[in-house]
Amino acid sequence: MCWCTRDLRCRSWTRRPPPRLSPCWRRPVNLPEEVALAKEVRALARQIARAVKKPVQFMEVCGTHAHAVGRLGLRQLLPEKLTLLSGPGCPVCVTPTGEIDWALELAATPEITVATFGDMIRVPGSRQSLADLRAQGANIQVVYSPMQALELAVEHSDRQWVFIGVGFETTAPTVAATIQTAARQGADNFSVLCCHKLIPPAMRALLAAGEVRIDGFLAPGHVSAILGLEPYQAVADEYHVPCVVAGFEAHDILRALLALARQVREKRAAVENEYERTVRPEGNPLARAVMEEVFEIVDARWRGLGVLPQSGYALREKYARFDAVRRYGLRPSNAGEHPLCHCGEVLRGVRRPLDCPAFADACTPEHPLGPCMVSSEGACAASYRYERIGK
C-alpha cells in the first residue's frame, strides 16, 4: 500500500514504506524523540502554572518569537494569569511610513533600481507600495542579501542601485560588510537607504512610557547572538524588569517564560540566557566591530513609538558616499499611518491584533492596511495565520 495515498495498487515501493514525515517540520519522525519533547513541553507548562501566583504580563520583542508562539500553539498551554504581549520586534513593522515613502521616491526615479527584501514589497506607504510601483514599471528587485544587491550593481554598472536596509542588530553586520566591500570595489553606483534600528532603546522606551505594564521581557535570540547579554542589564537594573533570552523551539520559549515567572515570584530582575547553544554572554564581537566601523548610532523614528534617542544606525562620514539619503537629498517625512490601522498600538503592546476593528475585515494579508499584517514577522500576520477564530 502506498504510504501517501493508501493505494494498494501503487508499486512505487516494494519492500518497505518511505519514512513518515512530520507535517510540521517535513522531516522524518523520531517517535521517541517527539514523545520526549512533548513530555518536556507539558512539564514546563505545568511548572509555569505553579510559578505564576498573580497576573503577570510578559512581552516578546522578536517577530520570530511571535510567529513561533502562534505556530506552536503555546498560548493555549499558558495559565490564564500569564499574558504574553507582542512588542516592537518586527523590523519591517517598526519602519515608519516616512521611510517607506523614501523607498517609493527612489523607486519612482527612472535611473534607479531599488533592491529590497521581499517583506518590504507590499508594505503600504502613505499612498502606495513598492508592489504597486513595480506593477507600473518601476525597477524594483527582490534580493535575499545585501551582498546580492551589490553584485547586481556591479554587474549592471550603467544604473544606480539602492538597497533598502531594514532590520535590527541581526542584519546590520551584513549590510555593514557589504558597504565595506562596495568601498573596496569602488562600486559608486551602489548605495544603502539605512533604516536599521536597535532593540534595547525600544525596550527602555516602552518601560519609560508606562503605557502598558511589562513584568518581564522575552529577549530576542537572534539579536542577542550579536549583542550578547550586557545591553539588557541596563534595562533590568534601571526598571527592575527581568530579561530572559530565548530560542525558538517550544521548550526554548517555555523555559524562558518559566525563568521570567520565577524571577517575578522571587522579586528579582536579572538577565538570564536560555539560549546558550547559540547566544554567548559577549555576543559576537567581530560582527559588532564591523558595525562600529561603518555605522554611528543616531536618533531614529519608529512606527508607533516616535523618535527614540540613540536607537538607529546611520553611515559614518567615511562611508557617506554610500548613504542614499545624502546622495539623493531625501527629506524627512512625518507621514502617518492609514486611519484604520492600529499597527502602532500593536507594536507598543497596547492593543492585541485580534482586538483591532480592522483585523481580518478591512485588513487582511491580501489587502493590508499596515506592515504588521504584511511582514512574515508581524504580530497581526501571526494572529491571522494561527489564532484567527470566527473572524
What CATH code is carried by the domain that includes residue 103? 3.40.50.11740
4-57: pLDDT as tens digits: 433 333 433 344 444 444 445 455 555 677 777 888 999 999 999 999 999 999
- The span from the CA of 252 to the CA of 258, in Å, is 10
Answer whether residue 18 is part of any domain.
no
Residue-number span of the structural domain to which 251 is assigned: 55-391
Overall domain count for the chain: 1
pTM tops 0.95, yes or no: no
pLDDT in tens, 56-94: 999 999 999 999 999 999 999 999 999 999 999 999 999
Whether 252 maps to a domain, the answer reads yes
Phi/psi for 80 (5° steps) reads: -60, -30
Could you state, in chain order, the average pLDDT of each consecutive group of 10 residues for the chain (391 residues)?
38 44 51 78 96 97 95 94 97 96 97 96 94 96 97 97 98 98 98 98 97 97 98 96 97 98 98 97 98 98 96 98 97 84 96 95 94 94 85 52
Give me the helices (H) in the chain, please: 31-51, 63-71, 91-94, 97-107, 130-135, 146-155, 172-185, 199-209, 221-227, 230-239, 250-265, 285-294, 324-327, 343-347, 379-386
The sign of the CA dihedral 236, 58, 349, 103 is positive
What is the radius of gyration, based on Cα positions, of the chain?
23
pLDDT of 2 reads 41
Within a domain: 31: no
The confidence score (pLDDT) of residue 25 equals: 45
In a domain, 122, yes or no: yes
C-alpha cell at 50: 505553579
Classify residue 384: in a domain, yes or no. Answer: yes
CB under 8 Å to 34, separation ≥6 — which residues? 22
pLDDT, residue 33, reads 74
- Cell output for 224: 542577542
Q: For 8, left (φ over 0), alpha (ψ -120 to 50), or beta?
A: alpha
Q: Residue 1: what pLDDT?
A: 36
Q: Does 7 fall in a domain?
A: no
Euclidean distance between CA atoms 368 and 375, whole angstroms: 10
Starting at the edge strand that comes first in sequence, how are the strands of the sheet with 140-142 ordered?
A: 140-142, 112-116, 160-165, 190-194
Asked whether residue 43 is domain-assigned, the answer is no
Residue 36 lies in a domain: no
- Give the per-residue pLDDT at 196: 98
